[in-house]
Amino acid sequence: MLDLLPRPSDWVSTREGRFGDLAAGATVALVALPLALAFGVSSGLGAEAGLVTAIVAGAIAAVFGGSNLQVSGPTGAMTVVIVPVFATFGPHGVLMVGLMAGVVLVALALTRVGRYARYLPLPVVEGFTAGLDFEALKCEVERE
């Protein structure tokens, strides 16, 4: 577990690099917080849930780091999952689904299943993403 934490070599050592990291973090916050608020409201949990989720997820992503290929912010695809779960099971169901998804992701990471993602054709990945975005838009329209 300690291997997941950042090492001193992971930190930027130049002043310009630290300023760049700070500017990048501020930019992500400016984009992610309003988006998280909107997802909280659209899912039915309220703006507070979106705000708390964005702050907690941002802090966890900052502590454990990431990669150039990782998305660590709110995405429209989550609306497709959250809205039906909230409608059926309420806020406790959303928490349970989040915890279950986390356990599955950790299990997939430990078994190194991600290395097989390179064999997925790009059109399949793009089609899947476009389909999720379309479903998210459809869920938001239906809620209004």
Identify which of 133, 111, 17, 10 has the alpha carbon closest to the alpha carbon of residue 67: 10
Contact yes or no for 74/35 (Cβ under 8 A): yes
Pick 42 or 1 by higher pLDDT: 42
* Angle of helix 15-43 versus helix 122-143 axis, rounded to 10: 50
pTM higher than 0.75: no
Q: What is the pLDDT of residues 20-70, one digit of tens each?
A: 777 877 887 787 788 888 878 877 788 888 888 888 877 777 777 666 556
**Chain centre distance of CA 94:** 14
- What is the average pLDDT across 100-122? 87
Would you list the domain boundaries of the chain?
Answer: 13-143
Q: According to the model, what pLDDT value does residue 125 have?
A: 80
Q: What is the pLDDT of residues 62-107, one digit of tens each?
A: 777 666 556 666 666 666 777 788 888 988 888 898 889 889 988 9
Q: According to the model, what pLDDT value does residue 98 have?
A: 82
Q: According to the model, what pLDDT value does residue 144 have?
A: 57
